Amino acid sequence: MSSTYVVALQVVLSCICLVLANSVDFHYPAVFNFGDSNSDTGELTAAKGFKLAPPYGQNYFKTSSGRFCDGRLIVDFLMDAMHLPFLNAYLDSVGLPNFHQGCNFAAAGSTILPANAASISPFGFGVQVSQFQLFKARVLEFLAGKKFHKYVPAEEYFQKGLYMFDIGQNDIGGAFYSKDLDQILSLIPTILLEFENGIKRLYDSGARNFWIHNTGPLGCLAQYVATLGKDTTKLGEQGCLRAHNQAAKAFNLQLQEFCTKLQGQYLDVNVTYVDIFTIKYDLIANSSKHGFEQPIMACCGYGGPPLNCDSRISCGLTKILNGTTIAAKGCNDSSVYVSWDGTHYTESANQYVASQILTGNYSNTHL
């Protein structure tokens, strides 16, 4: 069976899963999303005033869309499944964005913990929650004045809408540059306390439906493996960093415990905990079974096999290193790669992950 046929079959099966998912109770009038680059639809690029260089956005959008991907993100496929338009970034005011059915506050590089001077994004989770509260206040002002009602959510959407979260990857993964495993494990309760505070603020603002993704297998990201995996004794199954995945699992376990606590604390909330880690790890461990040829190596990067990832030069950029001009270019066929740029997944991988989410097999609503 040719790789092209396998990929085509995988796309068909993913589409079937997306159709079947429509029979699941996954229908909301609006979505409010919080997170990092895994679900950023243009927040960071709008805030910092830059455009991602090609080949970012080469698939589907055919141009840079502010997404750190070659095409669509998991959140885009989930919006499709709910028959809702893609979410506009909160700070992207160009092109008359329509927020009638939701808004995206996620920004690449964001953490749950407050940002500091070294942070890529100034929009920590607490700031994103504050942005939402300001957004809601302004929307209610517009509605009271009977202005722009076609472009902003109806008042009842704030209670009936879905609040989605995919954040924590940068808190855990980024910490390994300055901390050891034990220090990171001891930091997890503090991270989740900050998350809990943000969730409570959203509840007080009317949020009732919470859709919470755990974090993926961080030790399998080429960026971390290339930077911290030169000592091969740190590598485990699938060539992934053991400590990173151990920390991710510890974070996820405590995150699930928090979701159970949240569901028990408020009788009027609906909490769904989604096991992204298991979906992504299975995709990497059984990549060929799912139609992918490269589970770890980045499609867009520099350095060639086995990782094609060099922290000195990011995807789409050209630099002079040691007197030589080098470029981090995209691969010929991103559809057979799981990793897009060593940190983020390809559109094809995102579509596969979304299709698995929508089966309901990895979601826990009985916390």
Catalytic residues, which ones?
A: 37, 341, 344
294/289 Cα distance (integer angstroms): 12
Q: Which H, E and C letters describe 221-245, residue by residue? A: CHHHHHHHCCCHHHECHHHCEHHHH
Query: Residue 64 corresponds to which amino acid?
Result: S
**H helix count then E strand count, the chain:** 11, 10
74: number of Cβ within 10 Å: 26
Bridge partner list, 319: 326
d(CA 235, CA 313): 24
Interatomic CA distance for residues 252 and 240, integer angstroms? 18
Read off φ and ψ for residue 209, nearest 5 degrees: -110, 110
- Between CA 88 and CA 93 the distance in angstroms is 9
- Go through 114-146 and write b for each residue having 16 or more CB atoms within 10 A of its CB, e for each that does not: ebeeebbbbbbbbbbbebbeebbeebeeeeeee
Cβ 158 vs Cβ 133: under 8 Å: no
Residue closest to 365 by CA, chosen among 204, 102, 162: 162
Q: Which residue has the tokens 């809601």?
A: 136
Q: Do residues 300 and 347 lie in contact, with contact meaning Cβ atoms separated by under 8 Å?
A: no
